[in-house]
Chain A
């Protein structure tokens, strides 16, 4: 135990299952949790939609809400939940010294404008000219800001006054891994005392699905758990809208302000396997072994996306790298891309704090585990690239 241990003192979670840490614990700790699905709006693709959210609870100014599209609103909202949960929402001194790393993709494009351009383009040879005509007249000027990756962090600064620093990492699941890893490493090294870290993904937009389907990655038939999706039903990924933000602090900083921690983040390992060489399973095993996990059977909160190759490799790796009770939470939340790793860490920490493991989310493929977890594994293996794993331990 050290003064610079990294402890989790707040979390803000949103998914199709609801909002808040408590709500997620209630739903996921009850046996037989059922997914919330939207099957029609993007058929043949199923998505896990956002729950109903009263944005003004975390983004009081209408003007701020209007400046954002759903993705930024979702992230800003979840960040607010995390700050509330950590009890620092109103503490200007702490907020102004707080570091921030957001794992971000991009914001939503204007589908009406894009569709009009595509339709007009069918009968035009001068498509570049068409772009100039349409984009100069039909784009809403402020939409650009709602699309910019770093403006999720920008909005969190504006709405919640987190201003110590603001960094945005990009790169799908790996961005979430690097965000947690970097924030934790900085705290451990004394470069930072407290940090807000997390991400959001809003899947209910055709471009956000296209970002997967350009690689044929989406599952197209009826919902199944991440471990059961067959290759002839598409690429295996079912996406979900959601967000996860964590407040990380040094142990000393948390103790000084009398805050209780959910759990601590032990080692974080990240990697970039050269998957083309076929070594992903070995690479994931290597990451997991490097965490120095306790030898007994361990809860493993897996961020597996369902993408066939990556999910299969993770499953084989975890079958041999230790004794793990897998819990593939994307079966119930959908894949939340940049938010996947922070979400996995949050669920691991919740189980430790609540002194109980989750029942299997898919009893056919996930084994039992008993007793209050003192440690849990959290993983996010990218559907296409980058891998990460962390050991979350009792604080």
Chain B
């Protein structure tokens, strides 16, 4: 009988269902086909006017009914679709999941269209501060209220899928998706649950969101050829491409998965995190927090440095991230790093922010089950100071048994996951 507890005697946590939506399409099959053929989902923005904007491209999800309904509605729909695929794929009842929900989603605010609509009804004889308040109390609406409540999306998802207990909504910026998975893994290891539903979802590519990132000089302005703008580890990279998407993972104790004869797609073997106290948007120059997060994930998985076959990079295509990620990886893995494949899904789907860690975890699992490493596209001008095998431009067939997936975010967030094949 194979082991169902790990090196520390904890329950092994399996992944038994996955679902994903990105600008490349809806569902695992379409996404994987596009990703492995090196296709980009980045295009010109059509959702809102782009006059006055320095960046006019994005990886938005424009093919859903909620695509023009605001950040809250789209984030919900993205999450729901990914979770439907994951839960049904796991062979579970989509209305009665019976495990906790961990959702990574963006902070939401009252959208501008709602603000304008309220202000149209406002009494201008009132002082400025009171105009929207008075209009709101005269026209209260649960839907508008809920679009501003940070717990609202998780609450709806909990209803939809019959998850158990108080759902957790987590935000660790661009590491949120990885943190949601970590929370699920921890709950199963504590024996609180046999399974957990971890979702990362982000449909917040509004004009204001784009402008905010743009004002921080975080976004690529290579608008002329949108599909070429995201170029992680390239010399001429100039920022990330804002994007939307979602992914869901059914996490389950290996015992439970085997008992019900579920197909085990892989396991989450380790999680590591470490906060950075250096700066709000920049990493400590020596990379020590990211290094510590990678090492913590390896230790949690009970693996040494030679235990990783492939790195699914955070690889945002910002000058800072890719340099620091290379520094961290080469510090941890040493000379081996030059030969270990590292690729960035963001070269094709852009940066899905709160969803990224979950989206990339799904692609990491697929890398192992399919024996194919998705490429880093747009790798035409290598950055000579970043010596990595980035699986340039074309997918590679390879037997991958373990993956390290990195997620780093503003606010000193560093979270890493180690995923592996089902133990024999």
Shortest CB distance A146–B (Å): 9
Neighbouring A residues of B109 by C-beta, 8 Å? 106, 109, 207
A115 contacts B128, C-beta separation under 8 Å:
yes
Is A209 on the interface with B (CB-CB < 8 A)? yes
Q: A136-B211, A144-B216, A163-B276 are in contact. Are A388 and B166 (CB under 8 A)?
A: yes
Q: A127-B116, A218-B137, A271-B165 are in contact. Are A168 and B215 (CB under 8 A)?
A: no
Q: How large, as a class, is the contact surface on chain A?
A: 35 or more
CA distance A75 to B149 in the complex (A): 20
A105 contacts B150, C-beta separation under 8 Å:
yes
Cβ contacts A169-213/B at 8 Å (1 or 0 each):
111101101100110011001010000000000000011011101
Is B346 on the interface with A (CB-CB < 8 A)? no
B168 contacts A210, C-beta separation under 8 Å:
no
CA distance A218 to B214 in the complex (A): 36
- Among A26-34, A148-156, A255-263, A347-355, the one that faces the other chain is A148-156
CA distance A285 to B235 in the complex (A): 61
A170 contacts B150, C-beta separation under 8 Å:
yes
> Which of B119, B142, B144, B166 has the most A CB atoms < 10 Å from its CB?
B166
Partner of B411, one of A105, A121, A148, A270: A148
Using a CB-CB cutoff of 8 Å, which residues 114-149 of chain A contact chain B? 114-115, 117-118, 121-122, 126-129, 131-133, 135-137, 139, 141-142, 144-145, 147-149
> Which of A126, A151, A172 has the most B CB atoms < 10 Å from its CB?
A151
Is A166 on the interface with B (CB-CB < 8 A)? yes
How many residues on the B side are at the interface (Cβ–Cβ under 8 A)?
77
Shortest CB distance B2–A (Å): 24
CA distance A150 to B168 in the complex (A): 15
- Among B23-31, B79-87, B151-159, B385-393, the one that faces the other chain is B151-159
Is B370 on the interface with A (CB-CB < 8 A)? no
CA distance A182 to B102 in the complex (A): 12
B273 contacts A139, C-beta separation under 8 Å:
no
Partner of A141, one of B142, B158, B215: B215
Is A215 on the interface with B (CB-CB < 8 A)? yes
Q: A132-B52, A182-B183 are in contact. Are A118 and B116 (CB under 8 A)?
A: yes
A-B contact count (CB 8 A): 239
Neighbouring A residues of B216 by C-beta, 8 Å? 141-142, 144-145
Is A279 on the interface with B (CB-CB < 8 A)? no
Neighbouring B residues of A121 by C-beta, 8 Å? 116, 119
Q: A118-B119, A169-B168 are in contact. Are A158 and B149 (CB under 8 A)?
A: no
Shortest CB distance B106–A (Å): 9
B137 contacts A216, C-beta separation under 8 Å:
yes
CA distance A122 to B276 in the complex (A): 44
A166 contacts B148, C-beta separation under 8 Å:
no
Is B289 on the interface with A (CB-CB < 8 A)? yes
Neighbouring B residues of A374 by C-beta, 8 Å? none
B212 contacts A151, C-beta separation under 8 Å:
no
A128 contacts B207, C-beta separation under 8 Å:
yes
B129 contacts A42, C-beta separation under 8 Å:
yes
- Among B169-177, B220-228, B252-260, the one that faces the other chain is B169-177
Is A164 on the interface with B (CB-CB < 8 A)? yes
Q: A109-B109, A166-B412, A216-B140 are in contact. Are A385 and B168 (CB under 8 A)?
A: no
Please list the residues of chain A having a beta carbon within 8 angstroms of any beta carbon in chain B.
42-43, 45, 67, 100, 104-106, 109, 111, 114-115, 117-118, 121-122, 126-129, 131-133, 135-137, 139, 141-142, 144-145, 147-151, 153-155, 157-158, 161-172, 174-175, 177-178, 181-182, 185-186, 189, 191, 206-207, 209-211, 213-216, 218, 220, 234, 270-272, 274, 382, 384-388
Q: A128-B207, A165-B273, A172-B149 are in contact. List 10 more A-B contacts (CB 8 A).
A: A122-B119, A154-B413, A161-B277, A163-B274, A164-B275, A171-B150, A171-B167, A213-B133, A272-B166, A385-B151
Closest 7 CB pairs of A and B: A154-B411, A171-B151, A170-B150, A216-B140, A215-B145, A166-B275, A141-B215
